[in-house]
Structure 1
């Protein structure tokens, strides 16, 4: 399948799916992430690993680029693109926006609105090592295979059991919930 066919399939699946609704805004602080697809030989998703700093609340966690919605942000979507640029150097002009994946809550009273798009890879990745230790591309097919092998497909496991290991990292917590939802919505895009 060529890149445009993959993108069309992803866009169709995301735009026609039901996504988790927002919670009561009085109970959660708004945050946002950008789940970016990119293509080499096959589709992959872009992740960051937070820095290994003593006392850093997100220490060594795998995540999508993102952060808090600031009062100066016109929308959560605009905040997602701002955070994407601040954390990776990827500019919004180099991302084909697909849509929102809905809202996901953390145990620390954060509501994360997850967005997705396709990065054309025209930017050089730049990140602050005080906040991010690495940027990692994980093949979508590898995530899908883990999803099936662990029996996650078709059901909604609890956040404590939901993990997606890849090489020497593990995606867990709310990031794993977003990955789970994305995999459930998009499905096997390899054929």
Structure 2
């Protein structure tokens, strides 16, 4: 399955970053998202994102970057997260190469987010993201940046975060029960 993930870019002009697609199992499985702070001049102002950030020279790996950023942004220590693996590399329009990891959070620690960087935290049900994915006809195709959006309540996930979510859902669709997802996608056309 690793070969199905987007590879690291060959162009060295990208600055490395990492994010964590953090799963929490409440009544149903959820992914944890953050809405960036509403700070004037902040390039990611009000955007929906997965917790994460830039690689630091002290980070021994991109996975370490994701875990360090998770602690800094959300107050969740690495001992409370089981990392499943990497979803691959995703590039942004501002020359970032983001490696996305999937982790399971044990929820034994409360989220304590950095209000200078984060405005809100969302627990978005996977069922909602899957439903949007199917309703918009995203199964088995990667839509363009303008079309690839995942609305939730009063926010919209778009850009590189939407690309990561799209890839995650497609991997789950192929792995968990592809017939169910393919049938649902067919019923929506």
Alignment match, 2:185: none
Structure 1 moving runs of 4+ over 4 Å: 188-191
Distance 1:17 1:35 in 2: 19
Distance 1:16 1:49 in 2: 29
Cα RMSD (Å) of the superposition?
1.5
TM-score normalised by structure 1 residue count: 0.89
Task: Tell which deviates more after alignment, 21-30 or 132-141.
Answer: 21-30
Q: Deviations over 1:20-45 (max 9, x none)?
A: 00002512000000001110111110
Distance 1:16 1:112 in 2: 16
Task: Say yes or no: does 1:135 pair with 2:121.
Answer: yes
Distance 1:96 1:141 in 2: 22
Conserved? CA contact 1:17–1:185, under 8 Å? no
Alignment match, 1:112: 98
Structure 1 residue corresponding to 2:10, chosen from 11, 24, 27: 24
Report how many residues are paired.
177
Structure 2 residue corresponding to 1:55, chosen from 19, 38, 41: 41
Q: Deviations over 1:94-150 (max 9, x none)?
A: 111100000000000000000011101111111121110011100000000000000
Structure 1 residue corresponding to 2:29, chosen from 40, 43, 50: 43
SS of residue matched to 1:187: helix
- Taking structure 1 as reference, are residues 25 and 94 closer, same or farther at Cα in structure 2, changes over 3 Å only? farther
Alignment match, 2:187: none
Could you tell me how far 1:16 is from its partner in structure 2? Answer: 5.8
TM-score normalised by structure 2 residue count: 0.90
SS of residue matched to 2:53: strand
Unaligned runs of 5+ in 2: 181-189
Distance 1:81 1:135 in 2: 17
Distance 2:54 2:63 in 1: 11
